[in-house]
Amino acid sequence: MAARLNPLTAMTAAAAVLAITTAASSWAVSLTVAVGAVLLSAAAGIVRRVLLAAATIVVPFWLSLLVIHGLFFPEGRTVLASWGPARVTAEGLTFALEMGLRTAAFVLVLMVFSFSVRIPELVAALVARRVPPQVGYVLASTLLLAPLVAARLGTVRQAQESRGLVVGRGIGSRVAAIRLQMVPLVLGLVHDAGIRAQSLDARGFRSTGPRTSYTEVHDSAAQATFRVFAILLALTAVGWRIVESLPAGSLSAFSQFVGGPG
């Protein structure tokens, strides 16, 4: 199924879902999107990778949300507990929950997209639409950065373990291991990137002439229609959200600007 889908369709769908989720700003919508993303990844057989990758990003973020908004939320009125300047308020916790869910939905949708899209096809689809190939390369290498960094980190860890580094289960031991691995990781990636630049130059990557694409990207009228529909839907949601948040008096003045898509 994923193979027949134009990567631009998948990208448009992901972007539209993200825009609508933000515009809706409701925990129920965020939860629905998050659950939907998990179900989709399960159907595509990538649920394990998606959840693992999403968790590494979302969990630290949740913890910081809990500390910042759970303990210090100036607008909070319903105080549940307090220690000196720190006050746990119901409003703060609600805000943290909403933000946390929305972030989770965001990250999950992006992970499903980046794990399911075939990056060469995405680059090919962009080149076909006259997007500069350098932009395509940056996009592709960004999407490929996570696996690249993970692979390099894996080799550094194996090299260090083979020379006596024991990573224990304790958090202290893990932090110490991360400290030992960061400098080699960054230096290794920079070194590899320098070599890669020479190879890309020699393979004509900087050439300014017209380019072609080896990879053929599937597309159809139905997919093109879907993309237009998804963009319109997202614009409507954003427009509606802006109108909704305006004070009542300014609505008449604003409606002329959002009249188009809305």
Partner 1 sequence: MIADRTAATTLLASVASFSYHGDPGPALRGVEVVASPGTLTAVLGGSGSGKSTLGRILGAWLLGGRDGTLVGSLQLEVAGHPAGSGPLRFAGAQDDPRIDPGAWARHVGYVPQDAASMLSAVRGTVEEELAFSLENRGVPRGEMVQTVADIARRTGLDGFLHRDPATLSGGELRRLAVGCAVVDGPGVLILDEPLESLDQAGIRTIVELVRSELARGTAIVVLSQHADALTRAAERWLVLKDGQETAAGPPARILQGGVLAESGVVVASPEVIIPSANRKPEVDPMPAPPPVLTLPVVEAAAGATAIGTKPALELAGVAFGFGGRSRSSPTEDSLLLEDVDLQVVPGEIVAITGPNGAGKSTLLRLLNGLHRPFRGDVRVADESIAGVPTGLVARRLGLLFQRPHDQLFERSVLREVLFGLHPIFGTAAAERAKAALAAVGLGDSGHAHPHELPASGQRLLALATVLAREPSVLALDEPTVALDAHGLERLTAAVSAAAGRGAAVVMVTHDLRFAAAHAHRLLRLEGGRLRQF
Told to check if 67 binds partner 1 by CB under 8 A, we report no
- Number of amino acids touching partner 1 (CB under 8 A): 48
Told to check if 94 binds partner 1 by CB under 8 A, we report no
CB of 40 to partner 1, least distance (A): 21
CB of 50 to partner 1, least distance (A): 16
Which range of residues in 8-16, 28-36, 164-172, 228-236 is near partner 1 by CB under 8 A? Answer: 164-172
Which range of residues in 28-36, 55-63, 81-89, 208-216 is near partner 1 by CB under 8 A? Answer: 208-216
**Helix/strand/coil (H, E, C) string of the chain?**
CHHHCCHHHHHHHHHHHHHHHHHHCCHHHHHHHHHHHHHHHHHHCCHHHHHHHHHHHHHHHHHHHHHHHHHCCCCCCCEEEEECCEEEEHHHHHHHHHHHHHHHHHHHHHHHHHHHCCHHHHHHHHHHCCCCHHHHHHHHHHHCHHHHHHHHHHHHHHHHHCCCCCCCCCHHHHHHHHHHHHHHHHHHHHHHHHHHHHHHHHCCCCCCCCCCCCCCCCCCHHHHHHHHHHHHHHHHHHHHHHHHHCCHHHHHHHHHHHCCCC
According to CB under 8 A, which one of 162, 245, 252, 256 is a site residue for partner 1? 162
Told to check if 167 binds partner 1 by CB under 8 A, we report yes
According to CB under 8 A, which one of 56, 78, 82, 215 is a site residue for partner 1? 215
- Lay out the site mask for partner 1 across 172-191 (x = CB under 8 A, - = otherwise): -----------xx--xx--x
CB of 237 to partner 1, least distance (A): 33
Told to check if 155 binds partner 1 by CB under 8 A, we report yes
* Of residues 77 and 169, the one with the C-beta less far from partner 1: 169
Told to check if 59 binds partner 1 by CB under 8 A, we report no
Region of residue 87 (left: phi > 0; alpha: psi -120 to 50; beta: else): beta
Residues within the interface to partner 1 (CB under 8 A): 118-120, 123, 133, 137, 140-141, 144, 148, 155-156, 158-167, 183-184, 187-188, 191-192, 195-196, 198-207, 209-216
